Amino acid sequence: MSSSWDVVVVGAGPAGLLSASRAAERGRRVLLLEKNAKPGVKILMSGGTRCNLTHATDAGGIVAAFGRQGSFLYSALSALSPDEVVALFAAEGVAAKVEPGGKVFPASDRAFDVLAALRRRLQRSGAALVLDEPVLDVLRVVEGSGFTIVTPHRQLSAARLVLATGGKSYPGCGTTGDGYGWAARLGHTVINPRPALAPLKTSSGWVKTLRGVTVPDVRVRVTNGVRAVSRSTVGDARRAEQRGSLLFTHFGLSGPVALDVSCVVSAHEGPDPLWLECDFLPDVRPDVLDRELQDAAAQRGRKQVVALLASRLPRRLLDALLAEAGVPALRTAAELSRAERTRLVAALKATSLPLAGTLGFEKAEVTAGGIALKEVDSRTMQSRIVPHLYLAGEVLDLDGPIGGYNFQAAFSTGWLAGESV
């Protein structure tokens, strides 16, 4: 095998696989290097092994989901939109389906099919794939342009280099942040990588007794006990407030809303503790709920309070909230005092849970932070610092919410890099 290439792509994840394929389809001699014995290991784990390909929205919807970072993706999404991702996989025999909420999965519910499609396209493109060969270092050629890529077995030269090494989430998949060090030594700024889309830990003992309980519709807000906390690195306060499903676990909290606010928790560096304020009945105002309880006391006074609320929330959660509010478990509506009613409404509408961080990169689905976007030309994915260096996927300072947004960003930035090299 040759030691000299037009393009070397490092990392055979979603961004790297598409980048290598597209570059080779355009006539470049491409080598794709992967440190693992198999490509796309993280793809196979994603979405509960189903792989949430993208989200059923247009480019504007993807941009909006990423908040202030989103505008960086306009050109990439113009090159490969959500509809075009679906069409790309359909052309490889992988049909897609849209689930409630807009998540797009392969109709087969098999992440293996997604990876197999990417591998078929890569093979047809003529790009060379080398597995089980980690990159040790990346060096700029002193005289002239290009790069030297150092592996345990050899030194390779490339006129152009694509770093698609991912972040630090799920390090067991091989994503250990290698690309950050190489980019930094080449002159790039690396925004502190942090876990995102990670489960939350809490020190609240009663929460852990609810292991396995799911609440389908909860509004949550990360606060410092007074006000919502913004993610200071991007100033995007919207990420601190979410609405959706919440899962109680043996360590704390998971489910879409917990995962989506985790980037705010992991970015918090101040001494003040953080809290997760939970509104378990987001469609009912506190005053309306208070009135409902008063009316129930007048009309159905013998009925227990927990029975009045049983159609709205899981029984185990209701029992826990009654206890937290200091309301006896068998209290009837007529027996409920004004003070008890006030405390119960507060528990249902604004229970604050003390947070103890996240489960870290080991359980994070994506990485927040990464190579600074201002140092990358969003029209081409080429570095503004180092000519002929391209960056794609999770190695960039891009992280979106749960729902296929991050895969879309990886596919689109990888495709655009392949179009540009």
Specify whether 348 is located in the same domain as 317: yes
Per-residue pLDDT tens over the stretch 192-244: 999 999 999 999 999 999 999 999 999 999 998 766 665 443 345 678 999 99
Among 312, 329, 359, give the residue marking a domain's end: 359
Specify whether 182 is located in the same domain as 125: yes
391 within 8 A of 414, measured Cβ to Cβ: no
Specify whether 22 is located in the same domain as 103: yes
Confidence of residue 266 (pLDDT cuts 50, 70, 90): very high
State the pTM of this model: 0.93
Specify whether 254 is located in the same domain as 328: yes
Specify whether 132 is located in the same domain as 168: yes
Strands 252-254 and 200-202: antiparallel
Specify whether 244 is located in the same domain as 257: yes
Tell me whether residue 365 is exposed, middle or buried, using C-beta atoms within 10 angstroms of its C-beta: 0 to 12, 13 to 18, 19 or more: buried
pLDDT at 233: 38
Measured CA to CA, the distance from residue 25 to residue 21 in angstroms comes to 6
Mean pLDDT confidence for 289-298: 92
Specify whether 185 is located in the same domain as 209: no
220 within 8 A of 349, measured Cβ to Cβ: no
The proportion of the chain whose per-residue pLDDT surpasses 90, expressed as a percent, equals 92
Tokens of 283: 């469609």
Measured CA to CA, the distance from residue 14 to residue 164 in angstroms comes to 9
Longest dimension (CA), the chain: 88
What's the start-to-end Cα distance of the chain, in Å?
21
CATH (domain of 36):
3.50.50.60
Specify whether 92 is located in the same domain as 29: yes
Contacts of 158 (CB under 8 A, 6+ apart): 4, 5, 6, 7, 8, 31, 146, 147, 149
The proportion of the chain whose per-residue pLDDT surpasses 70, expressed as a percent, equals 97
Q: What is the rounded average pLDDT for all residues in the chain? A: 95
Per-residue pLDDT tens over the stretch 342-398: 999 999 999 999 999 999 999 999 999 999 999 999 999 999 999 999 999 999 999
Specify whether 370 is located in the same domain as 328: no
Tokens of 256: 């879409």
pLDDT at 236: 59
Per-residue pLDDT tens over the stretch 130-156: 999 999 999 998 776 899 999 999 999
Mean pLDDT confidence for 391-407: 98
Our CA angle for 171, 177, 182, nearest 5°, is 155
Specify whether 70 is located in the same domain as 179: yes
pLDDT at 229: 67
pLDDT at 250: 94
420 within 8 A of 387, measured Cβ to Cβ: no
Specify whether 212 is located in the same domain as 306: yes
DSSP annotation of 249 reads: -
Structural domains in the chain (count): 2
Structural domain containing residue 388:
4-194+366-420
* Residue with token string 């113009």: 78
Mean pLDDT confidence for 401-414: 98
Specify whether 209 is located in the same domain as 338: yes
pLDDT exceeds 70 at position 42 = yes
How many CB atoms sit inside 10 A of residue 319's CB?
15
Among 325, 344, 359, give the residue marking a domain's end: 359
Among 316, 332, 359, give the residue marking a domain's end: 359
